[in-house]
Amino acid sequence: MVSELIRSLGPVRQEPSAVTETGSILVVDDIEANRDLLSRRLARDGHRVASAAGGQQALEHHEFDLVLLDLIMPDINGLDVLVRMKADERLRRIPVIMITALADTDSAVRCIEAGAEDYLPKPFDPILLRARINACLHKKRWRDREQRYLRRIEDETAKFERLLLTILPRQVIGRLNHGETMIADRFEDVSVLFADLVRFTEHSGRIAPAVLVEYLNQLFSEFDALARELGVEKIKTIGDAYMAVAGLPDPIPDPFAAIAKMAFGMIDRLGRVNGHFGWPLQIRIGIHSGPVVAGIIGAHRFIYDVWGDTVNVASRLEAYSLPNRIHVSQDTARHLVGPFALEPRGSIEVKGKGKLETFFLSRI
């Protein structure tokens, strides 16, 4: 029993470390015999191996999973090569094992602090080298996988933000991202535009659904592009109606001129789309200016919307407009005297507001 116990306490035979990871490895050493010996050993283990005779040549290589880097070289020493690699966006994620004849602790510390994964003195133990290469390549695989996941997350986040920008203004998205849960603001000088296609319902009954949707999609995409050019905020579409505002949520220098240019541009782009489809449709537009309340409503398919008398009056003006005419209130007209022509239309009755003087807007 005693003899068996003594045998069990004896030295354990060390099995050679198995190759668990393979990859592309760059061997950097100014001595050709060292490069050849190490390259042959790595190739036998299944690695793809390339070599460089100095630091400058090493910095020209980019596509490797691991670099075995000699510390003492005549052109650029290994520590400087390591520092340059970690400063280069293309090279900084490649792990580096320093291999050197120097066995002092200071050299090892400087290399590790500069970003080396490991440090092996020459002559190195092949089993220890294999184990450390396995460990470095294993960590590199996990880091690469993490980077791929992060890029996927960034791509998906960017897609989500682009989608969100089709629903909400950028400023509002920023506020939500910073933790605001209630978005509600009052704006004093806003111009509200309503537009509606004349006799669209009657015309749509004679058109195939796919063609109808294609027409509206092309037309409203033109309106959306125009709004972005002018700094106008699209609020929503309802059927063949289009609503936009100027002056919120971000202020612009002249919201009144911007909304007027938007209205003229919508008539022009309607003509362009009509020409493509061979359709005769016209549009009515109404604009009123004044204070509004804006905010987000709903938790499912929520929207950014605006409310108030200004919105109601603009809608009323659109309903009383004429085909391909821009019907504006006196509150809007007084801001447009000079750059545009104003033709008195007369007064209209608005519930809760009484009679309002209105005008047709034209280019000069």
Question: Is the model's pLDDT at 215 over the cut of 90?
Answer: yes
Identity of the residue numbered 53 = A
Q: pLDDT value at position 3?
A: 53
Range 306-309, long-range pairs (CB < 8 A, 24+ positions):
306/190, 306/192, 306/235, 306/245, 306/248, 309/352, 309/353
| pLDDT mean over 147-154 | 90
End-to-end CA distance of the chain: 114
Instruction: Classify residue 337 as left (phi > 0), alpha (psi -120 to 50) or beta.
Output: beta
Ordered structural domains, the chain, with CATH? 16-145 (3.40.50.2300), 183-363 (3.30.70.1230)
Encode the chain in three state secondary structure.
Answer: CHHHHHHHCCCCCCCCCCCCCCCEEEEECCCHHHHHHHHHHHHHCCCEEEEECCHHHHCCCCCCCEEEEECCCCCCCHHHHHHHHHHCCCCCCCCEEEEECCCCHHHHHHHHHHCCCEEEECCCCHHHHHHHHHHHHHHHHHHHHHHHHHHHHHHHHHHHHHHHHCCCCHHHHHHHHCCCCCCEEEEEEEEEEEEEECCHHHHHCCCCHHHHHHHHHHHHHHHHHHHHHHCCEEEEEECCEEEEEECCCCCCCCHHHHHHHHHHHHHHHHHHHHHHHCCCCCEEEEEEEEEEEEEEECCCCCEEEEECHHHHHHHHHHHCCCCCEEEEEHHHHCCCECCEEEEEEEEEEECCCEEEEEEEEEEC
Least confident of 49-63, 122-136, 144-158, 172-186: 172-186
Pairing mode of beta strands 24-28, 48-52? parallel
Structural contact between residues 361 and 342, judged by C-beta atoms closer than 8 angstroms: yes
| pLDDT mean over 133-157 | 89
Question: Is the model's pLDDT at 248 over the cut of 50?
Answer: yes
More confident residue, 289 or 204: 289
Q: In the numeric block, which tokens belong to residue 106?
A: 């200071």
Question: Within its chain, how far is the Cα of 72 from the centroid?
Answer: 45
Q: pLDDT value at position 7?
A: 52
Mutual angle of helices 78-87 and 105-114, in 10-degree steps: 20
φ, ψ for residue 252, nearest 5 deg = -125, 155
More confident residue, 21 or 314: 314
Reported as a single tens digit per residue, the pLDDT across 278-302 is 999 999 999 999 999 999 887 776 7
Question: Is the model's pLDDT at 16 over the cut of 70?
Answer: no
Question: Is the model's pLDDT at 124 over the cut of 60?
Answer: yes
φ, ψ for residue 305, nearest 5 deg = -135, 170
What length does the chain have? Answer: 364
| pLDDT mean over 48-60 | 89
pTM score, two decimals?
0.65
Q: pLDDT value at position 301?
A: 67
15: pLDDT confidence band, cut at 50, 70 and 90? Answer: very low
Q: pLDDT value at position 17?
A: 59
Question: Within its chain, how far is the Cα of 24 from the centroid?
Answer: 33
Question: Is the model's pLDDT at 42 over the cut of 80?
Answer: yes
